[in-house]
Structure formats: C-alpha cells, structure tokens
Amino acid sequence: MHLTLIKNADTSATLSYQVARTVYAQTGASSLSLVEAMTSMIKNISEKTGLTISDIIRDKNIFDVLDEKSEHHERIFVAANNRGFEMCLRTARRMLANGLADRCFGATRFHSADIIPQWALSRGYIADIDGFLFYL
C-alpha cells in the first residue's frame, strides 16, 4: 500500500490564528472596538511598509507583549475556545479577507495610555480607544 501525505496549502487559517493570538495578548480582548483597531493597525503597517502580516505580528518592537518579560505575555497562550480569543479570530479573518474597515484612522503605532514612550512625546495621537492611544 502506498500512502501520500496531503498538505493543506491554505496558510490563511494559520495566519488568522497567529494574528488573533497577538491581538488577544496585546488587548486582552477588552472590547470589540479595541480589537478591530489593533487588527486594522496591523493591516495599515503592512500597507505602508510592505512588511508581511506575519512579520508584523512577531515584532517585539511593535507588540511589547511578545517579550517574555511583559506582564501580559502569558496571554499569547490563550485557549482557542476562549470567547475573547474567538472575537479576535473572527476579526483577524475579516481583516485578512479585506472585510474590515480601518478602525484606527490610518494609525501605524500605538501604546497603552498608562505609559508614554519617548517616540510619542513629539506626536499627537489620533485615537484613544479603550486605554490605547493610536498614532500615524
């Protein structure tokens, strides 16, 4: 008997889970508006820089929660059946299918409102969404 391994060439399912995990870890899925804004920002960065979505969601300079020292790093390991994660996954799928409107007004940078990074001192934020400030 001859067996052939069949591989699924559709990587969009994997990418949507990766985007959802990063967005969930960063936002805690505290609200749909924040999840949509963060997901929109990922797309904005990709369109403005030419970086792939995959590269963006792995960048610790963009998403501090990816650093193992982050207080919320453990969120990256959220269970797939978590309701907040499921919301992030639906939003990521919409974004990857070009079905998500820009919910962060063209922003390509953000930070939590309880910290002010050096780069933000000379800029004005364009959106304040549930405790996160978004910038062009």
pLDDT at 28: 98
- DSSP code of residue 70: S
pLDDT at 7: 56
CA distance 5 to 38: 37
> Whole-model pTM?
0.89
> In terms of C-beta distances under 8 Å and separation of at least 24 residues, what long-range contacts does 122-127 make, across chains too?
127/37
Give pLDDT tens digits along the chain (136 positions): 666 655 555 555 899 999 999 999 999 999 999 999 999 999 999 999 999 999 999 999 999 999 999 999 999 999 999 999 999 999 999 999 999 999 999 999 999 999 999 999 999 999 999 999 999 9
pLDDT at 44: 98
pLDDT at 13: 80
Cα dihedral: 114, 125, 122, 52 (round 10): 90
pLDDT at 11: 55
